[in-house]
Amino acid sequence: MKPLFQLTRSSMIWLLVSILMVMIPYVTVVPGWLFLLAVFTVGWRLMVHSGRWSFPHWSVRSALLSLVLVGLLFELRSGSVMVVTVGLLVAAFLLKLTEMYRRRDALVVLYVALLLIVCSFLFFQSIPMTLYSLLSLIVVTACLNTVYRSQQNTDIWRPLKRSAVLYTQALPMMLVLFLIFPRIGPLWQVDMNTGQSFTGLSDSMSPGDVSRLTRSADIAFRARFETALPPENIRYWRGLTYDRFDGRRWTRSEQQGIEQQSGVQSGLAARFNSLRDYRYEIVMEATGQRWRYGLDVPVSYPATVRRLADMTLQGQDPLMQRTQYQLVSRVAPQQDQLSAGRYDRYLQLPERGNEKARQLALQWASEQPDVKAFTAQMMTFFATRFRYTLEPPLLPGSDSVDQFLFQTRQGFCGHFASAGAFLLRAAGVPARVVGGYLGGELNPLDGALTVRQYEAHAWLEYWDRESQSWLRLDPTSVVAPLRLEQPAAQLFSSESSFLADAMLMRKGFLSGALLMQLRLRYEAINYGWHRWVLNFQDRQSDFLQQLLGGISVVKIVLLILITGGLVLLGVAGSLFIRRGPRQDPLVSALKRLDKRLLQLGLQRRSGEPPGQFFARMEQSFPSLSEEFAALSCCYEQISYAENSDPELLAQFRRLMSRCCSLIPQKKSL
């Protein structure tokens, strides 16, 4: 390889550090086998750099590319399109190392590294991720600086210092653009949801779906109340309602998403005016779905959200990024005038299947004609013969309700809600299943409730003809009453599957007083940051309105140009005025010695060579003869032998400082 194209040792070191830093955020995103590819490609490139191996043959590179494409196509069957796309970018980033021959090849690798740093924000938007990305940018820029350095320049840390200074100088301009440049909507939107991109509830529910969410500690949303918190046993966060049952799985009918609620809000306000309202704000994580979470029953909601007939809050578009909204909820029965079509819809059952459950429901209905007595008997049945568990037995057959009620009798909230709604419908009582969350962890530092995925819950509602309203019925309250009274993390701590995907949150981890306080403080800071970012657009509009006396494109462009120009002028001025023309460090050191010798009349003569000057100083100051001899040697090595070793220059400066400090200020008499 020609020396002109040979990457230096410092370039290879910074390149490896850059690859490592860029790859770390994707540990939990891209397929794990890509990290085996990273070890393989980086190891091969190191062996090539050391001269032990040659570059892989084109057939080897083609085979690696084929394997990567096959692997990513396989991942596409069960993963997110965006994750696979980023995985392809990561694979190209790594495979380029196996043919990185010239400096321009290294530049391609680093340019892709910059793109991967930006892509990491598709998956993470926290404060630590922002700081980490900034550090990664500094490191990649330092690596860019080393690509065109000569082989003699072996200083490893100097490029990092230059990169840090560069970003520090760019910081004022970044702040100007951040504060002044108006936020505009995206020109296009990437759909990251293919069924597995987001953790949370889906638009269908079958036995075991809710219990699988208890493996995750991901945050679903955070809520902050303006008034006192609601009691734990009524913290039912409604997500969506399921009204169709095919014998195993509950789904939402198409009519459910079309029919609008009419008159219920005013009816609730009139009848339950004396009941307490809960006013609160929710910061909801991305779900890829249109529904929004809210405490039962939402009576006031943003204009961008509509409330359907089943009390589901639905946004205009799928939620692809974190959002914030304000709600007012009221704990009260949901009055509803059921039309004939909706009445039949909430009685829908498959024509066949689960015959034992149907017979049991008809038997109870004949014994207890009153609906409330029927539900009381059903709750007693659940309380005395069933077990609440996160690891229920599988229900493989088509008669899943019969298997649960008469065979396994072990289940999670979804099993009980599904079976209860089936029994009510079989008895002629309109019923539906509701999916959402129950509970929330209070952070005492900011007063916010954090609701995580492991608090996912399902319950049912039935229609009471007498009060013309929907009443909530939660079988969990009799099967596992502690679920409504204590946090889910405490109740399920003994279950082996609980938080299986979040080991640091399991019992014994982060439970100490110090670690718990650190976690709560971090979550409070992160929550405050998210709220500030989400509210910034409104604050920015008010600020620009007051500053400009009205917002227009011309005014904003002029403001950006003027403020940006002033910042750039200030940065340029600081470079020229504060520093002035850059001098050779050897000349600067000699001028310092001349200034010291001026009082003694021994300064360097015009045209006197440095070697002769140092020899004269040896005679004038015999006690410093060794120092001046060493100075002469260093000067010759740096100036004439072109030795750019930074340690040699540092030694020259130390010797010069010692000589200046030991030279007397006046001639001795």
Which two tokens mark 360?
């049991």
> Taking the C-alpha atoms of 97, 98, 99 and 104 in order, what is their torsion angle to the nearest 10 degrees?
10
Enter the tokens of residue 262.
Answer: 């009419």
Closest CA to 57 of 44, 38, 42: 44
Query: How far is residue 182's CA from residue 170's CA, in Å, rounded to a whole number?
Result: 19
Amino acid (1-letter code) at residue 539: R
Q: Give the DSSP H/E element, type plus range, for residue 462.
A: strand 456-464
Residue with tokens 């084109």: 58
291: which 2 tokens? 């529904």
From the CB of residue 435, how many other CB atoms can be counted at a distance below 10 Å?
29
Nearest CA to 408 among 386, 378, 423, 390?
A: 386
Q: Which of 119, 143, 413, 634 is catalytic?
A: 413
Residue 230 is given by DSSP the state: P
The secondary structure of the chain in percent helix, strand, coil, rounded to multiples of 5, reads 55, 15, 35
Provide DSSP, 506-532: STTSS-SHHHHHHHHHHHHHHHHHHHH
Annotated catalytic, 413? yes
Closest CA to 460 of 445, 476, 444: 476
Rounded to whole angstroms, the Cα distance separating 27 from 31 reads 8
> Are 299 and 329 a contacting pair, CB within 8 Å?
yes
Residue 237 contacts residue 294 (beta carbons within 8 Å)? yes
b or e along 161-199 (b: 16 or more beta carbons within 10 Å of the residue's beta carbon)? Answer: eebeeeeeeeebeeebeeebeeeeeeeeeeebbbeebbb
d(Cα 104, Cα 264) in Å, to the nearest integer?
A: 67
3-class DSSP assignment, residue 654: helix
- How, if at all, do strands 387-388 and 410-411 pair? parallel
Q: If you write DSSP's letter for every residue of 128-151 in order, what string do you get?
A: HHHHHHHHHHHHHHHHHHHHT--T
Distance CA 394, CA 3 (A): 66
- What is the Cα–Cα distance from 66 to 58, expressed in whole angstroms? 12
Catalytic: which of 310, 474, 530, 659? 474
* C-beta of residue 390 within 8 angstroms of C-beta of residue 211: yes
Instruction: Classify the C-alpha dihedral 191-193-197-202 as positive or negative.
Output: positive
Which one-letter DSSP state was computed for residue 493?
Answer: T
Residue 200, amino acid: G
Q: Which of 457, 530, 634, 659 is the catalytic position?
A: 457
| 457 is a catalytic site residue | yes
Q: Are 252 and 244 in contact (CB under 8 A)?
A: yes
Catalytic residue numbers?
413, 457, 474
